[in-house]
Structure 1
Amino acid sequence: MSYDPSDDGARMSFDGRMSYGDYLGLDRILTAQHPLSKAHDEMLFIIQHQTSELWMKLALHEMNAAREAIAAGNLQPAFKMLTRVARIMEQLNSAWDVLRTMTPSEYTEFRESLGESSGFQSYQYRMIEFVAGNRNMAMLRPHEHREELIAPLRTEATRPSLYDEVLARLRAAGFDVPERERLDQPHRPDPAARAAWAAVYRDPAQWWELYELAEKLVDFEDYFRRWRFNHVTTVERIIGFKRGSGGTSGVNYLRRMLDVVLFPDLWELRTEL
């Protein structure tokens, strides 16, 4: 006989009650895909980027909460949040595997429909970089036409980044690490910070929380770098060395971004150990 879930107590009628789709707002999410061509693969392209933006929204949620916890000296919850950010970046990496099933011929069928839109213009990606501490004010210009986007980015550039709050934990522990004079600039390698981290890594038992905090940041950046590398590989596989739809040099621009380091002190200290 066919199984009836109501026999086991499952509610089957949702008239006037909150359902799964109601709670998740699925009507809005599942009707947000609007291909502009008849190409079969445009749906893949849209959904891959939309879901990536959803994961980035969660990453920002976790990064901001981790920053607040670190600023308060409450490191244990921050470890969990930063671990989650790394797993989110791993999920974003897996998305490229799906997009790479699209061939150059298939992409060509709808590329003109994109106009000048490009992932280069992703507001949330830019905010992730700004929260982490990679603040290049020139990258605000693609968002200047929308005040509701440019204003939060400008505000973010005036407050301590995630890594600034981490460095504050070093100072609180007694290490002589100077505060940055310009919050609206990317983090540059700092000899004092590198020396402090080297001391932490040489004696993890004494500085265990700082040691673990550093490794959580390295985990995050490790997956972030892989995401950038997969982006380069995917673009080269699909469009070769054509210019990007947003006007960048495409693969050459993305390769240049591979050299950007979020937490340079944590990577450079390894040479000294």
Structure 2
Amino acid sequence: MNNSTSAPDEPVKDDALTRPFAGASPYDTYVHASVLNSLQRPLTEAPDEMGFLVTTQVMELWFTLIVHEWRAARVAFAKDDLHAAMDALTRSRRALTALNAAWAPIAALTPAQFNGFRAAFGQASGFQSAMYRHMEFLLGDKSAGLLRAHRGDPDVHEALAETYREPSLYDEVLAYLHRQGLPVPRHVRERDVTSPYTSDPGVVETWRHVYAGPQHHPHLALGELLTDLAELVTRWRFDHVMVVRRAMGSKPGSAGSAGLAWLEQRTARPVFPELWEVRGDV
């Protein structure tokens, strides 16, 4: 017997859902959804341009979160707080997974569909994204030239220059491992952090100590978490290559870039290279 006083299909009444707001809803005041939803301004009638705009903007938001988490992890490593660092890196792994999934709306654009709006964005190109450049700099992939490209916007340039001058996330990981007694070479610890990070045999040896040690050691868990991040970043770069290859082939990119060739070159650059090399030594 159903003792309910309302019919099964009668909606539950909740006055909180229908009470008028004095102004903008508390949700909009906190999330700024009305601002976010006003930023999609297609310049053509092409049906695929809206998806391209939303996908690009969503990726920028994921970049922002990932940069936030990597900065938090970098600070934690500098304080020898491995637990907080691992928490931040784990959160960033979830964000990277979501970032990679964001390609879906535009992953199958045909050349004709892409050409329907490509001319509208003129000289705009993804390599101009300052927040993505923060990500790359935090990974140790520093570039004075790509920093210089943002000089026209002083606030953006200075924020990016700060990330350029600071140790990368990986620099702080290696400094932390040294303080924990692992043999990180002095020349690596004292290197010019504005230079692109390149693989070092001494750091391979550092990770060999970690991977040859106890299999439940926190430093091994750190190595595997960093490897997860490196793989996800590489997969994002590769998916970017595939989207461009499918939509425009080898044509020159926007703003005069080499397009596909430039992206393929970037994709080939390893993230945390010694973590991949050490696997052959274990």
Q: Which residue of 2 aligns with 1:110?
A: 117
Is it true that 1:215 corresponds to 2:228 in the alignment? Answer: no
User: How far apart are the structure 2 equivalents of 1:114 and 1:16?
Assistant: 36
Which one of the candidate residues 3, 8, 14 is aligned to 2:11? 3
Q: Which residue of 1 aligns with 2:166?
A: 159
Contact 1:104 1:239 in 2 (8 A): yes
Which one of the candidate residues 167, 175, 193 is aligned to 2:203? 193
Is it true that 1:34 corresponds to 2:41 in the alignment? Answer: yes
Q: Which residue of 1 aligns with 2:65?
A: 58
Which one of the candidate residues 110, 127, 148 is aligned to 1:141? 148
Bigger shift: 68-77 or 173-182? 173-182
Which one of the candidate residues 69, 72, 94 is aligned to 2:79? 72
Aligned length: 271
Q: Which residue of 1 aligns with 2:3?
A: none
Superposed CA offset, 1:199-256 (max 9, x none):
11001348x1221111111110100000000000010000011111122111111111
Runs of 4+ with deviation above 3 angstroms: none
User: How far apart are the structure 2 equivalents of 1:204 and 1:253?
Assistant: 41
Percent identity over the alignment is 36
Q: Which residue of 2 aligns with 1:168?
A: 175
Q: Which residue of 1 aligns with 2:28?
A: 21
Which one of the candidate residues 240, 251, 268 is aligned to 2:260? 251
Structure possessing the higher radius of gyration over alpha carbons: 2
Is it true that 1:126 corresponds to 2:136 in the alignment? Answer: no
User: TM-score by structure 2 length?
Assistant: 0.91
The structure-2 alpha-carbon separation of the partners of 1:135 and 1:21, relative to structure 1 and needing over 3 Å to count, comes to same
CA RMSD of aligned residues (A): 1.7
User: TM-score by structure 1 length?
Assistant: 0.94
Gaps of 5+ in 1: none
Contact 1:120 1:246 in 2 (8 A): no
Contact 2:42 2:49 in 1 (8 A): yes
Q: Residue 11 of structure 1: CA displacement?
A: 5.9
User: How far apart are the structure 2 equivalents of 1:79 and 1:16?
Assistant: 41
User: SS of the residue aligned with 1:222?
Assistant: helix
Superposed CA offset, 1:185-210 (max 9, x none):
1111112211111011001348x122
Contact 1:187 1:262 in 2 (8 A): no
Is it true that 1:181 corresponds to 2:188 in the alignment? Answer: no
Gaps of 5+ in 2: 1-8
Aligned partner of 1:217: which letter?
L
